[in-house]
Structures are given as C-alpha cells and as structure tokens.
Amino acid sequence: MDFPQYRKYKNIETYFKIISEKEFEELSSLGNKYVKNSIVAEQYPEILRIQDMLNCEGGTWEVIEKKEYNNKNKEVI
C-alpha cells in the first residue's frame, strides 16, 4: 500500500492522513476551525486502529482525496 492514505469518519468532521502503518495525523473540528494531532502508534490497540482505518473496517471510515484533507488542514488553528 502506498502512503499517505486519507480517511474521515462517516458523519463526523474528523479527518485523517495516514502516513505509515504506525503514524497518522488527525484533524478534529473545533467550532469553525480544526485542531491537528500527530499520533505515533506504539501500542497494539493503536496499530489496530490504523489497520481499521486503512481497511475501512466496521463502516466507520470513508476514503477521501488528498485535496479534501488539505482544504481542512488550511483551517487548523
């Protein structure tokens, strides 16, 4: 699989840039802006979460385009 990959929660304004199988960025909405968190998976549950995102498991995730992520990234406070 090529990286980065882009995902978002369905029906929630939270966006993800998956950098590798153990690292991702998360953009969470805060009013009209977004807050960015960088996460490095060190524990097994975190690694599983990234695998779930990549595989769009459980109907929770949807694939988005880089452009959509970058548009939201411009709104980070």
Distance CA 34, CA 26 (A): 9
Pairing relation of β-strands 61-63 and 5-9?
A: antiparallel
pLDDT tens, residue order, the chain (77 aa): 899 999 999 989 999 999 999 999 999 999 889 999 999 999 999 999 999 999 998 889 999 999 999 999 999 98
Distance CA 12, CA 28 (A): 9
Query: Do the beta carbons of residue 36 and residue 19 sit within 8 Å?
Result: no
In this prediction, residue 24 carries a pLDDT of 97
